[in-house]
Amino acid sequence: MNAVKRFREYIKNKEVLFAPGVHDCVTAKIAEKVGHQAIYMGGFATSAAIYGKPDVGLVTITEMLAHARNIAGSVNIPVFADADTGHGNPINVRRTIQEYEKAGVAGVHMEDQTHPKKCGNMPDRHVVPIREMVEKIHAAVDARINADFVIAVRSDSYLDCGLNELLDRGHAYAEAGADVFWPLLYNCKSRDEMKKVGASFNIPLMASLVNYSATAYIDIPEYAAMGYRVIISPFGALQAAAPVIMALMKEMKETGSLKRYADRLMAFDDLTDLLGLPEIKALERKYGIN
């Protein structure tokens, strides 16, 4: 079964799917190696990895697609990718969906922000009218070639518009054809609001593991109990890697040595194994390459 079909099956069943966020191909291969069923490529991590910039709409569709293509090509598990606002109006959305399909990802999510978008956790976000987003969803559904390609839609309307509008948008987006709805609730007032949203939809709901805001450290079992079935960690790996790399850089600057890190560095052979060197060597033997 190909990755797109597998991801659709994960979405269709009643179990919870967790897709850790990855910011590069090495992180993707690590996620696959430890046994994750799928991975997530988000806009924040992509902007950080390829630009060293915050997620404020600087990354173009071309750059997002190139990053998605590289990550999808590095693993055999489904890749779920961030398609931002769809990169324009419904006509642009059609191309966005088709290009992501060609890039080899198994599904995408779009959000109802105005353009240029910002990370959903940042202030000063604004949303487009419901009708405008509904037409973009119609375009996305019409554009996909493979019916198994998953289209998720996020609403960032809670902060400015409140819970009732978030619910209205979610139902409108589901009716328009969204396979998954992501209600952005980082600033929710209570777990009761999250539970109300969780009980209000028949399509799978999405949420994320973060270490800040009102949803800090809600774990997968708790999300599942509230009715959420597609869980990601947008930049947990990046947040974990950054301080480790910073400490290593300081150590090398101050001591000129890696010795203190001897027990924390992956062995070179283990690193090349992770990157697929044994498979390359096997192909060299097959084709008589010395």
Q: Are 191 and 226 in contact (CB under 8 A)?
A: yes
pLDDT in tens, 120-131: 666 667 899 999
Report pLDDT for 280. 94
Helix (H) or strand (E) holding 231: strand 230-233
Both tokens of residue 72? Answer: 């999808």
Q: What pTM value is reported for the model?
A: 0.95
Bridge partners, 19 (sequence order): 232
Percent helix, strand, coil in the chain, to 5, is 50, 15, 40
Task: Assess whether pLDDT exceeds 90 at residue 40.
Answer: yes
At 236-255, the pLDDT tens digits run 999 999 999 999 999 999 99
pLDDT at 1: 75
At residue 120, the pLDDT reads 65
Q: Is 188 a catalytic residue?
A: no
Band (212; pLDDT cuts 50, 70, 90): confident
- CB-side exposure of 127: number of CA atoms within 13 Å? 24
| Mean pLDDT, range 201-224, rounded to an integer | 94
Given the residues 25, 119, 161, 188, the one annotated as active site: 119
pLDDT range class, residue 58, cuts 50, 70, 90:
confident
For 192, the token pair is 């009761």
- pLDDT exceeds 80 at position 91: yes
Provide the H-helix boundaries in 104-225.
Answer: 130-143, 158-161, 163-176, 191-198, 220-225
Please give the Cα distance from 190 to 172 (Å, whole number): 24
In this structure, what DSSP letter does residue 23 have? S
CA–CA gap between residue 47 and residue 53 (Å, rounded): 6
Q: What is the pLDDT of residue 189?
A: 84
pLDDT tens figures, 59-90 = 999 999 999 999 999 999 999 999 999 999 99
Q: For residue 116, say if its preceding peptide bond is cis, omega within 30 degrees of 0.
A: yes
- H/E stretch holding 255 reads helix 236-255
* Sign of the alpha-carbon dihedral angle for 38, 11, 89, 173: negative
Neighbouring residues of 246: CB distance < 8 A, sequence distance ≥ 6: none
Residue 51 identity (one-letter amino acid): Y
User: Is the CB of residue 57 less than 8 Å from the CB of residue 102?
Assistant: no
Residue 93, pLDDT above cutoff 90: yes
User: Which H or E element spans position 278?
Assistant: helix 277-286
160: exposed, middle or buried (C-beta count within 10 Å: 0-12, 13-18, 19+)? exposed
Which amino acid, residue 9?
Answer: E
The domains located in the chain, with CATH, are 3-235 (3.20.20.60), 242-286 (no CATH)
For the chain, report the end-to-end CA distance as a whole number of angstroms.
Answer: 35
Q: Which amino acid is present at 122?
A: M
> Percentage of the chain with pLDDT > 70?
98
Condensed to tens digits (0 to 9), the pLDDT of residues 96-119 reads 999 999 999 999 999 999 988 777
* Cβ-contact 138, 130 below 8 angstroms: no
